[in-house]
């Protein structure tokens, strides 16, 4: 407890690659939840003890595939009710996962636990610059209240420049 | 001649040279193919039998296969109707081990079905109660209940542990507790959680069936608002499903030695209390049962489950079935939160049904055998 400011947590976590469970990286972090003001995201400082895997090849394959689509990508219900997802949607799902991480961080308090439940709808927006843009409608599951919360997010991505999220 | 256009998405996109995929009924292909040949249009048959491809993919829902235990596909999610048919089928084909009965009727008038499993070996036998699908969207729950029954019937003669279990105990299995909600999650809203009872004053439906039991009802961790997903209901046991099962459990409380309720997701094995931070009187027995069960589960595929009292392991909630069962006198009351921890969440892929159920079986068998060793 930090008087007048908030509550700080010191964490030691292990990051596990979703696509390769044997690939792990240790991480230490400090999370500060601010007192009172619920509209401010918690402060997060972290240190990775090791390196994240290089994903350039997969990134470039995905980037080229989307860039070369004749029509803008449109999809819904990823995964579907039975948990299935066409293989070509996997990167779209992973991108949503990353972007929703940002949304979750911005909306987290000590009494929330959010997970991405499903991509309800995703639509690519063609851009004249080199970024890829996707408009997502996602469903977030909040564990404590058990509510399913729809959320709109616009995601920009580029293999070298990373992810950007606007809500 | 009408064709079903599969590619491109509209005739608007068809120009000379475009690759086009169409589906036709079998008799129509007899006129289509000669026509294409005559018009000098190249074609390849991609799928000669679409019906067969669909059946192979969705796991054979044909009637012919529902007739046998081995024909039913335990690695896909089933509709309520399919589960009801399956229960009736087992009742007919395994009269020595299975007895199907109903404990009541749901809000929308559906039967609340329970399977009683076990050899009628002696006049008085203790029992284990297992329910799945208290929350509609947690599909892996009912999938596990069906898997458990299948394992019991298929391995009863070859597996000494299963034989011992079914000889010395009865198992009451309720594959779908919240039948109305489960049906609704198939037809309308995959993420529906509650029952489907109508509310008089608000336009919201349903009560959280795991907040509606008469144990510290509607205290912390439950909501008074009918539109919330943790709505405790207008009063305890307001939901006919909860009332019916509570009535049954109360009546058989001397016989029932374990209450197991299956939920998803979090990968946890929980025991009381949910409504407060306190240690149960028979803590050492329950804790060691949980610890052994979680180790047994992990031995299958290395999946780690957390375990402990629900209030500190998951969150505080009041009016839960597990706390009520314990308060009613059932010494072992557990709630499982099955796979996963959030990557797929409620939408656990069908390909993970088998590993999830396989590892969970080990935990359930472990708890049952622990129970038979008398540490209450």
Could you report the per-residue pLDDT of A10-55, keeping only the tens digit for each? Answer: 999 999 888 888 889 999 999 999 987 778 899 999 999 998 888 8
| CATH architecture for segment(s) A6-49 | Roll (3.10)
Q: Do A79 and B228 touch (CB under 8 A)?
A: no
Could you report the per-residue pLDDT of A64-103, keeping only the tens digit for each? Answer: 999 999 999 999 999 999 999 999 999 999 999 999 999 9
B contacts of A79 (beta carbons < 8 Å): 344, 347, 349
Considering only the beta carbons, identify the residue of A79, A143, A145 that sits closest to B349: A79
Query: Closest residue of B to A79, CA-based?
Result: B347
Q: Which two tokens stand for residue B261?
A: 């309720």
Q: Do B193 and A146 touch (CB under 8 A)?
A: yes
Can you say whether the dihedral through the CA atoms of A149, A150, A156, A160 is positive or negative?
positive
Could you report the per-residue pLDDT of B280-329, keeping only the tens digit for each? Answer: 999 999 999 999 999 999 999 999 999 999 999 999 999 999 999 999 99
Could you report the per-residue pLDDT of B24-80, keeping only the tens digit for each? Answer: 888 888 888 888 888 888 888 888 888 888 766 665 444 444 445 568 999 999 999
What ipTM is given for this predicted complex? 0.90
**A14, A70, A82, A147: best to mutate for the B interface, most B CBs within 10 A:** A82
Q: B104 touching A, CB under 8 A?
A: no
User: Which residues, in sequence order, are bridge partners of residue A166?
Assistant: A154
Residue B116: other Cβ atoms inside 10 A: 16
Q: Do B347 and A144 touch (CB under 8 A)?
A: no
A contacts of B266 (beta carbons < 8 Å): 143
- A→B contacts (Cβ < 8 Å), by residue, are 18, 79-85, 115-118, 139, 141, 143-148
Q: Is the per-residue pLDDT at B137 higher than 80?
A: yes
User: How confident is the prediction for chain B on average, in pLDDT?
Assistant: 93
Considering only the beta carbons, identify the residue of B191, B344, B352 that sits closest to A148: B191
Number of helices (H) and strands (E) in chain A: give both, helices first: 2, 8
Query: Closest residue of B to A117, CA-based?
Result: B345
Domains (ranges, CATH) in chain B? Answer: 4-45 (no CATH), 80-186+231-372 (3.40.630.10)
Report the gap between the CA of B110 and the closest CA in chain A (Å): 23
Q: Which of B324, B338, B287, B285 is nearest to B309 (CA)?
A: B287
Instruction: Give alpha helix (H) positions in B269-352.
Output: 283-301, 310-313, 321-327
Instruction: Give alpha helix (H) positions in B15-136.
Output: 26-38, 50-58, 63-66, 80-93
Tokens 């819904």, residue? A76
Could you report the per-residue pLDDT of A90-141, keeping only the tens digit for each? Answer: 999 999 999 999 999 999 999 999 999 999 999 999 999 999 999 999 999 9
The confidence score (pLDDT) of residue A126 equals 92
Residue B15: other Cβ atoms inside 10 A: 7
Could you report the per-residue pLDDT of B241-293, keeping only the tens digit for each? Answer: 999 999 999 999 999 999 999 999 999 999 999 999 999 999 999 999 999 99
- Angle subtended at Cα B230 by Cα B186 and Cα B232, rounded to the nearest 5 degrees: 110
The confidence score (pLDDT) of residue B5 equals 87
A contacts of B351 (beta carbons < 8 Å): 83
User: Exposure pattern of B200-216 as b/e (b: 16+ CB <10 Å)?
Assistant: eeeeebbbbbbbbbbbb
Do A133 and A154 meet the contact criterion of CB atoms below 8 Å apart? yes
Euclidean distance between CA atoms B113 and B103, whole angstroms: 7
B contacts of A147 (beta carbons < 8 Å): 228-229
Instruction: Indicate the pairing of strand B268-271 with strand B306-309.
Output: parallel
Same topology, domains A6-49 and A55-165? Answer is yes
The confidence score (pLDDT) of residue A118 equals 98
- Compute the count of residue pairs across chains A and B with CB atoms less than 8 Å apart: 55
Q: What percent of chain B has pLDDT over 90?
A: 78
Can you say whether residue A30 is alpha, beta or left, with left for phi > 0 and alpha for psi between -120 and 50 degrees? Answer: beta
The confidence score (pLDDT) of residue B185 equals 98
Task: State the average pLDDT over residues B186-207.
Answer: 95
Euclidean distance between CA atoms B261 and B266, whole angstroms: 14
Q: Give me the active site residues of B, please.
A: 337
Do A103 and A153 meet the contact criterion of CB atoms below 8 Å apart? yes
Give residue limits of the domains in chain A.
6-49, 55-165
Report the gap between the CA of A82 and the closest CA in chain B (Å): 6
Task: Name the residue with higher pLDDT: B68 or A60.
Answer: A60
Query: Closest residue of B to A139, CA-based?
Result: B191
* CATH code of domain A55-165: 3.10.450.10
B374: pLDDT confidence band, cut at 50, 70 and 90? confident
Q: B348 touching A, CB under 8 A?
A: yes
């Amino acid at each position: 407890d930090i008087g007048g400011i908030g509550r700080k947590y010191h964490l030691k976590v292990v990051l596990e690659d979703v696509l390769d469970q044997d690939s792990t990286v240790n991480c230490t972090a400090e999370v500060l939840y601010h007192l009172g003001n619920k509209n401010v995201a918690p402060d997060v400082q972290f240190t990775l003890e090791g390196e994240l895997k290089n994903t350039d090849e997969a990134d470039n394959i995905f980037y080229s595939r989307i860039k070369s689509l004749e029509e803008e990508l449109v999809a819904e219900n990823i995964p579907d009710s039975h948990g299935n997802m066409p293989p070509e949607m996997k990167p779209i799902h992973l991108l949503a996962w990353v972007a929703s991480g940002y949304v979750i961080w911005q909306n987290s308090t000590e009494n929330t636990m959010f997970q991405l439940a499903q991509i309800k709808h995703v639509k690519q927006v063609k851009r004249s610059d080199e970024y890829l843009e996707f408009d997502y409608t996602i469903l977030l599951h909040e564990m404590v209240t058990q509510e399913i919360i729809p959320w709109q997010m616009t995601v920009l991505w580029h293999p070298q420049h990373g992810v950007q999220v606007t809500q | 001649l009408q064709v079903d256009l599969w590619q491109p998405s509209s005739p608007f996109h068809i120009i000379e040279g475009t690759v086009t995929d169409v589906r036709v009924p079998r008799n129509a292909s007899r006129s289509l193919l000669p026509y294409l040949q005559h018009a000098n249009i190249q074609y390849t048959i991609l799928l000669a039998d679409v019906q067969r491809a669909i059946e192979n993919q969705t796991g054979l829902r044909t009637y012919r296969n529902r007739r046998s235990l081995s024909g039913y596909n335990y690695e896909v999610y089933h509709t309520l109707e399919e589960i009801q048919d399956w229960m009736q089928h087992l009742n007919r084909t395994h009269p020595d081990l299975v007895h199907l009965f109903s404990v009541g009727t749901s809000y929308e008038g559906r039967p609340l079905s329970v399977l009683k499993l076990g050899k009628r070996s002696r006049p008085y036998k203790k029992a284990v109660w297992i329910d799945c699908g208290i929350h509609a969207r947690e599909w892996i729950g009912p999938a596990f209940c069906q898997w458990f029954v299948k394992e019991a019937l298929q391995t009863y003669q070859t597996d000494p542990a299963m034989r011992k279990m079914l000889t010395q105990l009865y198992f009451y299995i309720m594959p779908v507790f919240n039948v109305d909600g489960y049906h609704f999650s198939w037809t309308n809203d995959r993420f529906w959680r509650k029952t489907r009872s109508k509310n008089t004053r608000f336009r919201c439906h349903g009560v959280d069936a795991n907040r509606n039991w008469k144990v510290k009802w509607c205290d912390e961790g439950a909501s008074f608002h009918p539109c919330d997903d943790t709505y405790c209901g207008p009063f305890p046991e307001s939901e006919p499903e909860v009332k019916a099962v509570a009535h049954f459990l109360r009546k058989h409380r001397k016989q029932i030695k374990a209450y197991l309720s299956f939920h998803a997701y979090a990968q946890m094995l929980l025991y009381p209390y949910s409504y407060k931070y306190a240690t149960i009187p028979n803590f050492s027995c329950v804790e060691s049962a949980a610890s052994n069960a979680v180790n047994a589960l992990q031995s299958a595929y290395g999946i780690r489950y957390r375990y402990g009292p629900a209030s500190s392991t998951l969150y505080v909630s009041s009016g839960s079935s597990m706390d009520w069962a314990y308060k009613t006198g059932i010494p072992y009351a557990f709630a499982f939160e099955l796979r996963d921890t959030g990557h797929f969440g409620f939408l656990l892929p069908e390909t993970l049904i088998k590993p999830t159920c396989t590892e969970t079986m080990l935990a359930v068998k472990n708890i049952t055998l622990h129970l038979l060793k008398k540490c209450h």
